């Protein structure tokens, strides 16, 4: 009986096949310890956005009248900026900022609410603003910062999602005739403000100029230098929607 038990126990413990080698796992790819710097410039299309205005009119008699409201418009800016992708454990984070020139199309939009009555001609004020600023940009240059997180690579482009803050101010200033044909003049001071908290989604394609496969387009910046092409879609508060396209050089250090 003991012999039979020993035989049964031997059959239940098969000897591993020594002829099959264990699969060798590839070594883990080391974390990228380099810093990536990109300088990008391009066009920013403001598909829509709402801005606020605050108008002060000083009449010839010394009275100061204040008006405020909001307007919606489309617009365009030219932008230039830089972005840094952090090394090591923070390699999925990119921080950057852009300088923007231009803004929403505020010229020709009312600077006094439609249903508000005024002791002066609103049309005369609008006409004077358009006459003075037809070839000027009312919006001041603005700085817009953002932070992004890598989502991955799809269709040879690196996708990122993040947050961007937009704040821009502008102004109309001058004088006008409060009553058409009158020699008296009134002063106007219009302050414009556009701000938004934006969700940012970007597609980044890298052209690695110093790789063996020269001018290869991919979602990886494997070379020491090259070009990055960028498309960004943003949407946020105050009904703001933007689409940016840009291109510029990048370096790895």
3-state SS of the chain is: CHHHHHHHHHHCCCCCCCCCCCCCCCCCCCCCCCCEEEEEEEEEEEEEEEEEEEEEEECCCCCEEEEEEEEEEEEEEEEEEEEEECCHHHCCEEEEEEEEEEEECCCCCCCCCCCCCCCCCHHHHHHHHHHHHCCCCCECCEEEEEEEEEEEEECCEEEEEEEEEEEEEEEEEEEECCCCCCCCCEEEEEEEEEEEEEEEEEEEEEEECCCCCCCEEECCCCCCEEEEEEEEEEEECCCEEEEEEEEEEEEEC
pLDDT for 156 = 84
Domain annotation covers residue 143: yes
- pLDDT tens column, 28-62: 555 557 899 999 999 999 999 999 999 999 999 99
Residue 10 domain-assigned (yes or no): no
How many domains does the chain fold into? 1
Q: Is the pLDDT of residue 3 over 50?
A: no
Return the higher-pLDDT residue of 133 and 211: 133
Confidence label for 220 from pLDDT (cuts 50, 70 and 90): low
Q: Give a yes or no: residue 52 inside a domain.
A: yes
Q: Is residue 164 in some structural domain?
A: yes
Query: Is residue 160 in some structural domain?
Result: yes
Mean pLDDT, the chain, whole residue set: 88
Is 240 contained in some domain? yes
Tens of pLDDT along 138-191? Answer: 999 999 999 999 999 988 899 999 999 999 999 999 999 999 888 899 999 999
If one compares 14 and 85, the residue with the highest pLDDT of the two is 85
Q: pLDDT value at position 211?
A: 58
pLDDT at site 17 = 56
Q: Is residue 100 in some structural domain? A: yes
According to the model, what pLDDT value does residue 215 have?
43
Mean pLDDT of 11-22: 58
pLDDT digits (tens, 9 = 90+) for 228-243: 999 999 999 999 999 9
The model's pTM: 0.82
Express as a percent the part of the chain with pLDDT over 70: 82
Instruction: Give residue 197's domain range.
Output: 31-252
């Amino acid at each position: 009986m003991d012999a039979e038990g020993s035989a049964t126990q031997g059959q239940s413990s098969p000897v591993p096949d020594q002829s099959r080698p264990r699969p060798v796992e590839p070594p883990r790819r080391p974390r990228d310890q380099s810093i990536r710097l990109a300088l990008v410039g391009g066009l920013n299309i403001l598909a829509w956005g709402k801005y606020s205005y605050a108008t002060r009119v000083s009449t010839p008699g010394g009275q100061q009248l204040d008006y405020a409201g909001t307007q919606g418009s489309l617009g365009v800016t030219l932008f230039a900026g830089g972005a840094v992708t952090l090394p090591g454990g923070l390699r999925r984070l990119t921080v950057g900022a852009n300088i923007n020139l231009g803004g929403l199309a505020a010229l020709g939009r009312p600077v006094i609410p439609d249903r508000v009555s005024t002791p002066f001609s609103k049309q005369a004020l609008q006409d004077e603003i358009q006459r003075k600023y037809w070839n000027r940009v009312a919006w001041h240059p603005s700085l817009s910062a953002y932070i992004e997180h890598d989502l991955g690579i799809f269709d040879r482009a690196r996708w990122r999602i993040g947050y961007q803050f937009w704040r821009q101010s502008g102004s109309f200033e001058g004088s006008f005739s409060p009553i058409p044909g009158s020699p008296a003049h009134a002063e106007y001071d219009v302050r414009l403000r556009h701000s938004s908290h934006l969700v940012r989604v970007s597609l980044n394609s890298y052209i690695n100029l110093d790789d063996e496969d020269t001018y290869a387009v991919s979602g990886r910046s494997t070379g020491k230098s090259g070009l990055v092409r960028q498309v960004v879609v943003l949407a946020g508060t105050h009904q703001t929607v933007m689409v940016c396209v840009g291109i510029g050089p990048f370096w790895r250090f």
